[in-house]
Structure 1
Amino acid sequence: MTATYQDLRGKSVFITGGGSGIGAFLTEGFLAQGAQVAFVQRSDSSAFCDEMEAKHGNRPLFIQCDITDIAALKAAIAQSAEAHGDIDVLVNNAANDKRHEAGEVDEEFYDWMMAINLKAYFFACQAVAEGMKAKGGGSIINFSSISYMMGNAGYPLYTTANSGINGMTRSLAREFGPDKIRVNAIAPGWVLTDKQKEMWVTPEALEAHLARQCLKDTLAPEDIVGATLFLASESSKMMTGQAMVVDGGVVVTG
């Protein structure tokens, strides 16, 4: 942990996909700041919660949930609010970048990809808005990806959803702003999670990607935590409607 955000201590934080990959590091990052964290995950994350409690003396609330089930997602957010108070920080992190080609997409797969990568984000934002308004503000952080900025092939529905997240973030920032609710996006580069290493990282692909980066180190999940904590905290209180890129310098914004 390289920075301490005193205003995050005791804050009610809700994270989707907070038990694995980048999400697990986000959960730990907020716990280390003294926040009260709830997260949803499809798989059993009880052992992870045990580990976090032993390490930080601060146990996260794990709620097993498939975020494509919107009713279950809303119920999980309500359960989190009951346990920790209305949500101060929402992190929409869960996603699925399953590889596919345009010609093999059918309606069922299209709907599933949009459900997990875009629809759930919107309804989570909707579900926390009233509670944030009642508390006098809050921070929503939507995870996107640089994939759509690069125009990558190999997962066109994923890049479509990523681009949609950016548009949704800007519109909700405008709509929620009068209630002091900030809405920002984070667009990571190629973060080498265990899933990425198992499924898609090859020496050739990694070498080609590093050649595009200004910084020649690979990105690890913990490299995304600092930017998330910053956007969650009052240190970024006048930032909203923005997309923060954390990719080692592949894409250029502005």
Structure 2
Amino acid sequence: MQFIEVTEAAGVRSAVTRFWRPDSRVRFLLCPMIHLAEPAFYREVTARLRRDCDLVVAEGSGDAAPAADALVASYARLDGRERLGLVVQDIDPRTLGVPVIHPDLDGQELQRGHREPPLRERVTLAALVPAVLAGMRLFGTRRYLARHLTTEDLLSRTEGRAQDAPPDVDDRVLGRRDRLLTETLTRLHHTATGPRTVGVLYGAAHMRAAATALTGLGYHADGADWLTVFTLDPPAGSDSPG
């Protein structure tokens, strides 16, 4: 299943996908997020969550893995540059007007037992993150960013570079948070007492795990609305070479 699409004609697009199960009173709306986009993308996602959802499951900002922290910091360096016309993700779950839960916060006890990464993991991450950041600083155009966005967001780019890294690295970057997310979706399915739509506001890197969990529970994708994250060429009047 494709969550992020990159084409010459449409640019970078995110698939907001509905999941349903005939005998379930719960519907799920997966909203794959990219952490650097045109402002209109974040406005549209915010409007859909407010209009269509009764509950939002949102990614917790305080539990990012080391690679995620560094990459999001790199987005901030590009934020506001006129030549890009892009902004860092600015959706504040507290202002949506619907209840919001953060599965990341439910794993505090687990996190306390793994607060300090193993030495070999820190060494691997120290080698991976600067390479990604250097490329973004040197070639930070829309087209450069788009080339590094696959179906699972920019963070998935590090997976390919880490194929020979210890298994702990990939588990710490995505696996632990995926488990907390999928456990929450499973719980919401089993404990539903009335009809409601649950929005899932997570980075696109986590959507594969969410979709797999829902499919395992008997849910089916019921179409997707493609939202433009950003076009490949900057706005008219920009000084970017594209």
- Structure number with higher relative contact order (C-alpha < 8 Å, ≥ 6 residues apart): 2
Higher strand share: 2
Same fold (TM over 0.5): no
The alignment's TM-score, normalised by the length of structure 1, stands at 0.31
Higher helix share: 1
